[in-house]
Every structure is written in C-alpha cells, then in structure tokens.
Amino acid sequence: MDMTYMDKCINETLRKYPPVSVFTRNCTQSYKIPNTDVIIDKHVQVLIPILEIQHDPEYYPEPDKFDPERFSPEDKAKRNHYTWLPFGEGLRSCIGMRFGLMQTKVALAVLIKHYRFSLNSKTQHLLILDPQSFILAPLGGVWLNTEKISDYNAAKEKVESQTSAKEPVAETHANDAMSAKGLGKPLSKNVQVEK
C-alpha cells in the first residue's frame, strides 16, 4: 500500500513511542567497543535501549518534536540505519513487521475516512509513561472525541443549499452565513475536512 505521508507519520510515531522500548542480545564473542576501553565479554546479555537511541538528539534533533519529515528519503539517508529499531534488527527481528504496519495503515485509512478526531480533555498533554505496562503506554490512556464525517458533510450541504437559495445571503461572507445558521463552523474548517 503506497501511502507515503502516512508511512512517515507511522514511522515517526514508532520513533517517539516504540511499543517495545528495549530488546536483548547475547554476546557470542568478546567485543571491544571502538574508541573506548569497554569490552563486552562473551555470553554477556546486552540490552539495546530503543527508546533512548530513538530520542538521541545526535540522530534526531529536537527529539520530542513530532516531525514526519525525518522519514523523507533524504533525511533517512543521512542517518545510521540502526537508529530506528521499533521492530528490532537482524535475524531475530519482528516477523510480524509488514503485517503490523499494513494493519495499522488499513485501520487508520478507514477511520479517518469516516470520522474526525480531536483530543479529549481527559488526555494528558505531557504524556506520562505507565510504569506498570509491559509495552510502552501512556498512563491513563489516550482519549479522543469522534465525529462522523457523514453527519458533518450533511450539515454542510444543508447550509450551502439554504444560503445559495437566497440571493442577498449568497453575497454574505461564507463564515457569517454559517454562523447565522447557528452551526458555528467556519467554512474554512469544512474545506480542511475534505482534504
């Protein structure tokens, strides 16, 4: 499924919030980390801190900022491949990666086609991670308001047909016409919804 911008948004979400925030590897032979005195002995278990790597400002400037353009082909080419690890890497990486990504895209495409979403006030703006959750999750969950787009478009069409029927109102600015009908939604917002 070729959805370039959605791809970038999902990749950036997985960068900021990798559900599996750490994975492990067993060292099979003694290894000296280049340019350091650190030696990892054979059989030592190593923790790979995905969350920390994906928030390292050396690779992701302003790491707390949500910026899907970090995943443009040009920006990706500038970074080490192993700085984005939400599905792990190597022979034991996630076998469900393609399925997981496809599922996420299908669900998102269907949901945003039919509903408008906005943040509910119950959602904390500075997310606090739940210390008791096995996978990375915000304390208290993410609460959203939903509005069916068909209802919204029906209201919009009704207003438009009413305003075009009366000549003097047709000359009124569209925003005023909308508020005069008591809907309180400026036309510019409607246009954005249709994108």
Q: Taking the complex as a whole, how short is the minimal distance between the CB of residue 50 and ligand HEM, in angstroms? A: 7
Report yes or no: 167 and 195 within 8 Å, Cβ to Cβ: no
21-38: string of b/e by CB count within 10 Å (b at 16+)? Answer: bebeeeeeeeeeeeeeee
Question: Residue 71 interacts with ligand HEM (CB under 6 A)?
Answer: no
Site string for ligand HEM, 90-109 (x = CB under 6 A): --xxxxx--xx---------
Question: Residue 51 interacts with ligand HEM (CB under 6 A)?
Answer: no
Q: Taking the complex as a whole, how short is the minimal distance between the CB of residue 82 and ligand HEM, in angstroms? A: 11
Report yes or no: 171 and 152 within 8 Å, Cβ to Cβ: no
Chain centroid to Cα 40, Å, comes to 36
Binds ligand HEM by CB under 6 A, chosen from 7, 89, 130, 160: 89
Q: Taking the complex as a whole, how short is the minimal distance between the CB of residue 19 and ligand HEM, in angstroms? A: 5
Q: Taking the complex as a whole, how short is the minimal distance between the CB of residue 106 and ligand HEM, in angstroms? A: 13
Which of these segments, 18-26, 75-83, 105-113, 172-180, binds ligand HEM (CB under 6 A)? Answer: 18-26
Applying CB under 6 A, the residues found at the interface with ligand HEM are 19-20, 23, 86-89, 92-96, 99-100
